[in-house]
């Protein structure tokens, strides 16, 4: 098992770079910069960290094709990947608070949008020249001449059945969000089954589960903070609340 850290996207690039160096010195596998509605742009914010580190992987979490066109996701990822040769990665998902703030309806073909976004970003990484004609997005004749670094990784932000199946088919791995050990095990087994059905080697697929930690000198303060946020963390996922709340609650 490897440990990644999600850093606060409100921090300036210089502080993010300092924390990235500290994380690297302590053997952390990767750092992620969250894409928040009121945060800094994660790609730009990670550029200095990419420049001053040597081993740690880094990238944005999580980008939605509703907020950023897949072409821009791919171009930004490839650019960041050149700064930290071959260590960049990105998570593409259906979106949370940003998509809600932009007013997109929940039934707007979210799985298709994420699938097409991953198709485009993977094509931009691995195919030359690259064209794509999907239902939602198109790109014609992408053929950059400046790419020299090993390819970055593309993860899907996925918890639910359709997204898990899509991720097993298209992505290099998944980032689950706030799943209990029981739900995480079930999701992993589901994805492994899909990988075998698609003829992919499960050993080459990466599984991640995002968990929120509340670390304070005072344990009581940490518990208070955790309780305060637990409802919000399950806001988009009613099935998660059933893990720790009764129907009456």
Say which CATH number the domain at 81 has. Answer: 3.20.20.30
- For residue 13 the two structure tokens come to 């690039």
Within a domain: residue 247? yes
Confidence bin at 190 (pLDDT 50/70/90): very high
For residue range 107-118, what is the model confidence (pLDDT) as tens digits?
668 889 999 999
In a domain, 90, yes or no: yes
Q: Does one domain contain both 226 and 164?
A: no
Confirm whether 51 is domain-assigned. no
Q: What is the pTM of this model?
A: 0.89
Residues 193 and 227 in one domain: no
Residues 219 and 158 in one domain: no
Residues 134 and 87 in one domain: yes
Question: Which residue did the predictor score with more confidence, 247 or 149?
Answer: 149
> Which of these, 62, 57, 63, 61, lies nearest to 85 by C-alpha position?
57
Confidence of residue 206 (pLDDT cuts 50, 70, 90): very high
Residue indicated by tokens 């899907």? 156
Q: What is the mean pLDDT of the chain?
A: 90
Asked whether residue 53 is assigned to any structural domain, the reply reads no
- Residue 239 in this model has a pLDDT that exceeds 70: no
Same-domain check for residues 241 and 194: no
Cα angle, residue 42 at apex, residues 135 and 133 outer, rounded to 5°? 15
- Please confirm whether the linkage preceding 243 is cis (ω < 30° from 0): no
Is the model's pLDDT at 105 over the cut of 80? no
Are 190 and 248 part of one and the same domain?
Answer: no
Tell me whether residue 17 is in a domain: no
Residue 237 pLDDT greater than 80, yes or no: no
DSSP string computed for the chain? ---EEEEPTTS-HHHHHHHHHHHHHTT--EEEEE--TTS--HHHHHHHHHHH-SS-EEEEE-B-TTTS-HHHHHHHHHHHHHHTTT-BEEEE-S-SHHHHHTT--TTS-HHHHHHHHHHHHHHHHH-SSEEEE-SS-EEEEE--S---SPPPEEEEE--SHHHHHHHHHH-SEEEEES--HHHHHHHHHHHHHHHHHTT--GGG-EEEEE------SSHHHHHHHHHHHHHHHTTT-HHHHTTT--S--
**Predicted pLDDT of residue 120:** 98
Residues 134 and 169 reside in one and the same domain: yes
Q: Is residue 77 part of a domain?
A: yes
Q: Are residues 120 and 226 in the same domain?
A: no
Establish if 91 belongs to a structural domain: yes
Q: How many Cα atoms within 13 Å fall on the side-chain side of residue 77?
A: 34
Q: Model confidence at 233, in pLDDT bands (50, 70, 90)? A: low
For residues 87 and 103, state if they share a domain: yes
pLDDT digits (tens, 9 = 90+) for 117-155: 999 999 999 999 999 999 999 999 999 999 999 999 999
Q: Which domain holds residue 159?
A: 62-211
Q: Are residues 137 and 240 in the same domain?
A: no
Do both 184 and 236 map to the same domain?
no
How many domains is the chain built from?
2
**249 pLDDT higher than 80:** no
- If asked whether residues 122 and 190 sit together in one domain, one would say yes
- Within a domain: 47: no
Nearest CA to 169 out of 94, 115, 206 is that of 115
């Amino acid at each position: 098992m490897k440990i990644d850290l999600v850093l606060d996207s409100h921090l300036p690039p210089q502080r993010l770079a300092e924390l990235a160096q500290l994380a690297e010195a302590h053997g952390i596998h990767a750092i992620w910069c969250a894409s928040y509605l009121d945060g800094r742009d994660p790609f730009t914010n990670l550029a200095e960290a990419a420049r001053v580190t040597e081993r740690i992987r880094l990238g944005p979490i999580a980008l939605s094709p509703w907020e950023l066109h897949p072409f821009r996701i791919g171009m930004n990822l490839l650019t960041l990947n050149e700064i930290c040769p071959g260590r960049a990665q990105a998570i593409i998902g259906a979106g949370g608070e940003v998509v809600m703030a932009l007013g997109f309806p929940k039934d707007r073909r979210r799985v298709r949008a994420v699938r097409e976004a991953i198709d485009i970003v993977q094509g931009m990484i691995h195919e030359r020249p690259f064209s794509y004609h999907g239902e939602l997005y198109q790109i014609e004749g992408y053929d950059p001449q400046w790419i020299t670094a090993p390819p970055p990784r593309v993860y899907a932000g996925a918890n639910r059945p359709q997204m898990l199946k899509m991720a097993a088919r298209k992505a290099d791995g998944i980032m689950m969000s706030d799943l209990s050990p029981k739900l995480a095990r079930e999701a992993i087994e589901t994805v492994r089954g899909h990988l075998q059905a698609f003829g992919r080697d499960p050993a080459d697929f990466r599984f991640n589960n995002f968990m929120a930690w509340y670390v304070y000198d005072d344990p009581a303060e940490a518990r208070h903070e955790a309780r305060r946020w637990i409802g919000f963390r399950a806001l988009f996922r009613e099935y998660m609340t059933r893990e720790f709340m009764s129907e009456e609650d």
